[in-house]
Structure 1
């Protein structure tokens, strides 16, 4: 598969800290060459919108994204106000990432019911429809800086969610696997499983395929100093995940040059041009970005 758009690299921030610490690590991400700074949406982590506002003050170039909002937690009309205000105040650098929510314990902590997967996707679809409708209304206030609102990223794995993403999203994000029923573990996908999901999405995208950006969340970045072949390497992720990194598209391993080659191969094989890593891998992954620029 040929590369049709330039690479983008994102880092997902989630470790709490002081205002100065948060600002410093966002500046550092920009210095290291990342294109996007994201903020996860989980209880116990920083609240996404104020965190993105602070990131905008600390940086000049990077795009800023919610990666991804636990959409069932939000009233759609109130969310639209937060999205539009944030986009306005950060000069149109916002990308809006939405998910259906998957961690039951967080719903329990918030004293909210944990709907079925189908109901959560239905809530997400209703939210997308509300946001699109409000932002398309020229009379709506506050106005987002970007016409019709920020680019929309939808992340997920199942049929209903990916069908929704293929219909509405500007960016489709694949988490590299699927969560357990309670969200307590992640089953990392094999190459064949990921290819099946991508084929499903492309079958729905049709003429939109060239206009939609594909994102892959890299779950592991393993330097050569670590024993990547340890049998229980991914036991905390999923007991039935393949144990060899080369069998897992969401894992890169080796030297920066070797990782860069793996990124190229994933782009050519699957069509990904946007890759996101976790905050704790930020410094480790920076030489990979440099090797690809």
Structure 2
């Protein structure tokens, strides 16, 4: 597994890795810190990998996404609003709800989000942070 977000590391991963891991964050080129990749930005990263895989004639490479937040809740809207405040308004609640590396909702809603992202980006592996393991365990039965 090789992963990251930059062009060089993703091209390297496309040439050599069995699993390519997509980081959901990047550093701002103007030095303003890190930011979370939007759906459009993740699509650009995936397209770069797809192009390199085609160029290399490689098939069957798996894809992983590193999840920044996995939150099981009965009130998705309120949880997204909480995350909006945590992010200090840098993204709208609608943008937060579509972030490829943020999973918020009931187990069923999160399973739907994961299936949609698998269809859109080809993610076959999901990495959640240790603090989210118990929460994410509630989602696993929905994926089988």
TM bracket, shorter-chain basis: 0.7 to 0.9
Q: Is the 8 A contact 2:79 2:104 kept in 1?
A: no
Summarize the alignment of residues 1-293 of structure 1 with structure 2, pairs less than 5 Å apart.
153-180=1-28, 186-206=34-54, 207-208=57-58, 210-224=59-73, 225=75, 227-230=79-82, 231-235=84-88, 240-244=90-94, 245-293=96-144
> Once the 2 structures are TM-superposed, how far is the Cα of residue 195 of structure 1 from its aligned partner?
0.5
1:196-229 Cα offsets, whole Å, 9 max, x none, are 1100111011121x32110001101123255312
Q: Which runs of 4+ in 1 moved over 4 A?
A: none
1:18-69 Cα offsets, whole Å, 9 max, x none, are xxxxxxxxxxxxxxxxxxxxxxxxxxxxxxxxxxxxxxxxxxxxxxxxxxxx
Q: Is the 8 A contact 1:188 1:241 kept in 2?
A: no
* TM-score normalized by the length of structure 1: 0.43
RMSD between aligned alpha carbons?
2.2
> Any gaps of 5 or more consecutive residues in structure 1?
1-152
Higher-Rg structure is 1
Q: Higher helix fraction: Structure 1 or Structure 2?
A: 2
> Once the 2 structures are TM-superposed, how far is the Cα of residue 186 of structure 1 from its aligned partner?
3.4
CA distance in 2, matches of 1:178, 1:263: 21
Q: Is the 8 A contact 1:249 1:266 kept in 2?
A: yes
> Any gaps of 5 or more consecutive residues in structure 2?
none
Classify 1:257/1:242 alpha carbon distance in 2 versus 1 (closer, same or farther; 3 Å).
same
SS of alignment partner, residue 155 of structure 1:
strand
* TM-score normalized by the length of structure 2: 0.84
Classify 1:154/1:242 alpha carbon distance in 2 versus 1 (closer, same or farther; 3 Å).
farther
Residues paired across the two proteins, number: 136
1:209-266 Cα offsets, whole Å, 9 max, x none, are x32110001101123255312332324xxx7445443231101111001101111110
SS of alignment partner, residue 123 of structure 2:
coil
Between 1 and 2, higher relative CO (CA 8 Å, sep ≥ 6) is seen in: 2
